[in-house]
Structure 1
Amino acid sequence: MSDDSAAPTPPEGLPEAVVTELNGLSAEDLRRAIVHAQELLQWQEDTPSQIELHPGEDVIRVNERDTYTEVVKTVPCPEGCEDCPHGPYLYHVREEQRPEGGTHTHWTFIGEVDTEKN
Structure 2
Amino acid sequence: MNDAPNKPTPPEGVPDQLVSDLNQLTAEEFRKTIIHAQELLNFQNEEPFPIEPKPGDDILKVTERDGYTEVVKQIFCGEDCGDCPHGPYLYHVEQEPHPDGTETSYWRFIGEVQLDDE
CA RMSD of aligned residues (A): 3.1
Q: Is the 8 A contact 1:73 1:89 kept in 2?
A: yes
Residues 20 and 93 (structure 1 numbering): CA distance in 2 closer, same or farther, change over 3 Å? closer
Q: Structure 1 runs of 4+ off > 6 angstroms?
A: 39-42
Residues 20 and 79 (structure 1 numbering): CA distance in 2 closer, same or farther, change over 3 Å? closer
Deviation per CA, 1:36-92: give whole Å up to 9, x if none.
Answer: xxx779722122221111122111111001100000010122634111110000000
Tell me how far apart the structure 1 counterparts of residues 19 and 117 of structure 2 sit (CA, whole Å).
26
1:65-80 equivalent positions in 2, closer than 5 A:
65-77=65-77, 79-80=79-80
- Give the partner amino acid of 2:17: V
TM-score, normalised relative to structure 2 = 0.61
1:102-113 equivalent positions in 2, closer than 5 A:
102-113=102-113
Shift of 1:110: 0.4
Q: Secondary structure at the match of 1:116?
A: coil
Find the counterpart in structure 2 of residue 59 from structure 1.
59
Aligned length: 88
- If asked which structure has higher relative contact order (CA below 8 Å, sep 6+), I would say 2
Fraction of identical pairs, as percent: 44
The unaligned stretches of length 5 or more in structure 2 are: 1-14, 24-33
Higher helix share goes to which structure? Answer: 1
